[in-house]
Amino acid sequence: MSLRKDKEKVLGETFDDDRIKTFLNYPAPAGVNADYHLLEKAYRGMLGENFKTFVKFFVEAGKDINAVGPEGKTFLQVAKAHRNGEEYVIALEAHGAK
């Protein structure tokens, strides 16, 4: 007997604006800056194109693009250390991340 997956993972999914905005509503774990957590969650869950749109909504919502995470770094500093982070870094810098 073989097991089959009920749902296939969607790779390369492009979200509409409403779906992207849902990433503004994730509660942070205890001890983690809420704005940093949102950036990290979006980074992990979106392609660069979607992340660029998310960052625009994030800033428009009055969130802190330079929030510091548990390691004492901004999310831009973390993304710069990632091999495939360039598109995300560009989106963050375009909205004032340091």
Q: What is the pLDDT of residues 15-48, one digit of tens each?
A: 899 999 999 999 999 999 999 999 999 999 999 9
**Confidence label for 4 from pLDDT (cuts 50, 70 and 90):** very low
Q: Are 51 and 87 in contact (CB under 8 A)?
A: yes
**Which is nearest to 90 in space by CA: 63, 64, 57, 56?**
56
pTM of the complete model? 0.85
**Which is nearest to 40 in space by CA: 83, 13, 76?**
76
Q: Which two tokens stand for residue 31?
A: 């001890």
**Confidence label for 12 from pLDDT (cuts 50, 70 and 90):** low
What's the start-to-end Cα distance of the chain, in Å? 54
Write the pLDDT tens digit of every residue in 38-90. Answer: 999 999 999 999 999 999 999 999 999 999 999 999 999 999 999 999 999 99
